[in-house]
Amino acid sequence: MHDGRDNFGEGTPTAVHPLICRHPETGRKLIYIATSFTKRINELSREERYMIIRYLLDHCQRPEWSMRFHWRPHSVAFWDNRCVRHRAIADYLLNVRSGYCIQIEGVAPPVVG
């Protein structure tokens, strides 16, 4: 279950969704987890869910799943938040980094079956 109120303030919506689901266009399985939002796995005890969430977060951060985007003038970066984890690195200091964040309306992730 996602419950971002702890991180983003009162009024932030909550959601319950599958932890493993399928990408709506490709049908590939994906791990739908985020450090800031994932608080529990409803069907598990506190100890079990902590271990599984920690394992999955560690797994998703492994170097073989990573790529580094190198900014250059007029660069454009675009990723699919449904299956890509984003982590900004402040290695551009003394320069200005600006941009626009957009969201494309989508559907709830399909359950793996």
In tens, the pLDDT along 10-57 reads 777 778 888 888 888 888 998 888 887 888 899 999 999 999 999 999
pTM, two decimals, is: 0.69
> Residue 75: what pLDDT?
85
> Residue 48: what pLDDT?
95
Query: Where does the chain show beta strands of DSSP type E?
Result: 2-3, 14-15, 20-22, 29-31
> Residue 1: what pLDDT?
42
> Residue 7: what pLDDT?
57
Half-sphere exposure of 36 (CA within 13 A, CB side): 9
* Residue spans per domain, the chain: 2-65
